[in-house]
A and B are shown apart, each in its own frame.
Chain A
């Protein structure tokens, strides 16, 4: 079975500072990896995904993540935080289970951006 661990349920950064949200996964087979963002009272929006190929993945709103197989990590970064980045972020792993690729999510990291 696969699982996702997000280190730090709450992260605060100053506007303009580096954003680093940590995600580690466990999977017995090569996973697909995702980062989603959730704004209050809204659904999940895909930021970026890794399936195969290049391990450094660029997403929307200036976010990127690097798949490191040896570390079983898929940390999310952004060089300079904006106030609009304040939201909850979920890392997810997708592994083929039966007929579908179910998403297994971490418990989320709430990002606060301080002025």
Chain B
């Protein structure tokens, strides 16, 4: 079956613009995670959803970052008033188990460049 997909794959934004990044998890996967991967670094946790509930948003770096998963499938990560330090690859991962106890399956990521 299809894996995790993300769109757009690449996004260039001017500083101050709002952006929305989409994640389509594997069908039926309960858990969904967002990670931020800065250049030359490993991914860092941003937030976690179990179905439509956002159970952990402790990794979101500021209140400019907002994520939602209203119907428990597709998720959107929104960044308001983008800053240059937001430039990174944003990875989405889904897992069939609650809490990500099983393997997390990663999408290809969205590379965000803020000019």
Contacts and interface: CB of A to CB of B under 8 A. Distances in A.
B104 interface: yes
Interface stretch (B13-21, B37-45, B64-72, B76-84): B37-45
Given A90-B42, A92-B42, A100-B31, A43 B107 contact: yes
Interface in A18-76: 36, 41-46, 49
A107 B43 CA distance: 8
Nearest to A92: B42
A100 B50 contact: yes
B56 A98 contact: yes
Interface residues of A, number: 26
B108 A101 contact: no
23 contacts: A4-B42, A43-B91, A44-B43, A44-B93, A46-B103, A46-B105, A90-B42, A99-B50, A99-B98, A99-B99, A100-B33, A100-B55, A101-B100, A101-B101, A102-B33, A102-B45, A102-B59, A102-B100, A103-B45, A103-B104, A106-B42, A108-B41, A108-B42
Interface of B: 3-4, 31, 33, 35, 40-45, 48, 50, 55-56, 58-59, 91, 93, 98-101, 103-109
